[in-house]
């Protein structure tokens, strides 16, 4: 069970949240200029690291805000969270 410190609501249990993928993930454009492989990179290819990763989470059953979590995929430790408009938190090794 993760305890995720939502930047707005404080620490809450994992079932209140939804995972939303790695960040940064920038949609390429303009559409006419995007190659098939660049589009596949954006849609499907992921770092999927074993260790610390920055990802987007949604507090579905709380404030319903998206925010950023720095999480260790091997240990499930949560290193930091930040609001979506703030600069991306640094990953501390």
- Residues within window 11-70 making contact with another protein, judged by CB under 8 A: 13-15, 18-19, 36-37, 39-41, 43-50, 53, 55
b/e map of 56-79 (b: 16 or more CB within 10 Å)? bbbbeeeeeeebbbbbeeeeeebe
Question: Of 8 and 19, which has the nearer Cβ to another protein?
Answer: 19
Among 73, 83, 86, 88, binds another protein (CB under 8 A): 73
CB 14 within 8 A of CB 1: yes
Question: Of 50 and 92, which has the nearer Cβ to another protein?
Answer: 50
Whether omega for the bond prior to residue 93 falls within 30 degrees of 0, making it cis, is no
DSSP 8-state class, residue 14: G
Taking CB under 8 A as the rule, does residue 88 contact another protein? no
Catalog residues that contact another protein under the rule CB under 8 A: 1-2, 13-15, 18-19, 36-37, 39-41, 43-50, 53, 55, 73-76
């Amino acid at each position: 069970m993760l305890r995720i410190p939502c930047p707005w609501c404080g620490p809450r249990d994992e079932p209140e949240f939804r995972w939303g993928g790695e960040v940064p993930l920038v949609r390429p454009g303009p559409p006419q200029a995007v190659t098939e492989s660049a589009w596949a990179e954006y849609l499907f290819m992921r770092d999927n690291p074993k260790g610390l990763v920055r990802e987007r989470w949604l507090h579905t059953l709380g404030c319903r805000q998206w925010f950023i979590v720095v999480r260790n995929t091997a240990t499930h430790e949560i290193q930091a969270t930040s609001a979506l408009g703030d600069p991306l938190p640094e990953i501390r090794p």
